[in-house]
Chains A and B, each alone.
Chain A
Amino acid sequence: MPDHSNIPRGAATRRFFGVIVAGLFAVLALGASVVAVDPYLHYDSPRIEGFNRWKTRFFYGQYDSKARLVHAVRPRHLVIGSSTAAGSLRPDHPLFNGEPAFNYALAGSTPHLQGMALAHALEGGTVRSVIIGVDLFSYNAFMDQRAFRQFELAVEQGGGWRGHWRRWRRELETSIAEALGYEAVADALGTVRDQGRPGAGGIYRDIRADGYWQNPRPAGMAQLPLFTTIERQYLSGGWFPEPERRYALDDGRGRSTPDELGAMLERASAAGVDVTIAIMPFHARFAEAMHEAGLWDDFDELKRRIVALAAEPRFARSGLRVWDFSGYHALSMDAVKGATRDTPWFEDSIHPTEATGDRLLLRMRGGAAAEGRGPADFGRLLDAAHLDAGLAAAVAQRAQYQAQHPADVEQVRLIARQTAAWREGARGAPAD
Chain B
Amino acid sequence: MLFNSYTFLFVFLPLCLAGFWLASRSAGRAARGWLVFMSIVFYVWWEPVYLLLLAASIAMNYTGARVLARARAASPARSGPVLAALVVANLLLLGYFKYLDFGISIVNLVAGTAMPLHHLVLPLAISFYTLLQIAFLCDIHDGKVVDLDLGNYLLFVTFFPHMIAGPIIHHSEMMPQFRALAGRRPPAAIVARGTYLFSIGLFKKVCLADTLARASDAGFARADTLDITGGWLTALAYTLQLYFDFSGYSDMAIGLAMMFGIVFPLNFDSPYRACDIRDFWRRWHMTLSRFLRDYVYVTLGGNREGALRTYRNLFLTFVVGGIWHGAGWPFVIWGAMHGAALCVHRAWSERGLRLPAPLGWLATFLFVMLALVMFRSPTVDVAVAVYRAMLDVGSFDAGALGAWRIDAAGSPVLGWLNLADRPGLGGGGWPFVAACLALCVFGRNSNTLARNFEPTLARGLACVLLFGLSVVAIETESRFIYFQF
Contact = CB atoms under 8 A, between A and B. Distances in A.
Interface of A: 1-4, 7-9, 12-20, 22-24, 26-27, 30, 149-150, 162, 165, 169, 172-174, 176-177, 180-183, 185, 243, 427
Contacts of A18: 460
A254 B81 CA distance: 53
A150 B467 contact: no
Contact of A1 (B265, B467, B472): B265
Contact of A27 (B187, B451, B457, B467): B467
Contacts of A7: 189-190, 192-193, 453-455
B374 interface: no
Interface in B240-288: 263, 265-266
B484 interface: no
Interface in B443-478: 447, 450-451, 453-457, 459-461, 463-464, 467-468, 471-474, 476-477
B189 A182 contact: no
Interface residues of B, number: 47
A2 to B, nearest CB: 6
Contacts of A23: 460-461, 463-464, 467-468
Contacts, number: 116
Nearest to A161: B48
Interface string B189-215: 110110100000000000000000000
B234 to A, nearest CB: 14
A180 B460 contact: no
Given A12-B454, A26-B464, A176 B7 contact: yes
A173 B476 contact: yes
B474 A15 contact: no
Contacts of A165: 48
22 contacts: A2-B447, A2-B450, A2-B451, A4-B189, A4-B193, A7-B189, A7-B193, A7-B455, A13-B188, A13-B189, A15-B460, A17-B192, A20-B195, A20-B464, A23-B463, A149-B477, A150-B476, A176-B6, A177-B474, A180-B6, A181-B474, A185-B472
B445 to A, nearest CB: 13
B193 A183 contact: no
B477 A150 contact: yes
Contact of B457 (A9, A15, A26): A15
Contacts of B222: 243
A185 to B, nearest CB: 6
Contacts of B48: 162, 165
A16 B447 CA distance: 19
A173 B263 contact: no
Interface in B171-194: 173, 187-190, 192-193
Contacts of A19: 457, 460-461, 463-464
Contacts of A243: 222, 225
B45 interface: yes
B415 interface: yes
Nearest to B222: A243
B463 A1 contact: no
A12 B456 contact: yes
A23 B460 CA distance: 9
B412 interface: yes
Given A15-B456, A23-B461, A177-B474, 12 more contacts: A1-B266, A2-B193, A12-B454, A13-B455, A15-B457, A16-B460, A23-B464, A173-B5, A176-B6, A176-B10, A177-B6, A181-B6
B410 interface: yes
Contacts of B52: none
A9 B460 contact: no
A19 B188 CA distance: 14
Contacts of A181: 6, 472, 474, 476
Given A16-B460, A23-B464, A4 B190 contact: yes
B11 interface: yes
Contacts of B188: 9, 13-14, 17
A13 B459 CA distance: 11
A177 B476 contact: yes
Contacts of A162: 47-49
Contact of A13 (B6, B49, B192, B468): B192
Nearest to B403: A427
Given A2-B451, A162-B49, A16 B457 contact: yes
Interface in B334-389: none
Contacts of A22: 464
Contacts of A149: 477
Nearest to B399: A427
The 9 nearest A-B residue pairs measured at CB? A23-B464, A19-B460, A16-B455, A176-B6, A182-B412, A7-B189, A16-B460, A13-B455, A13-B188
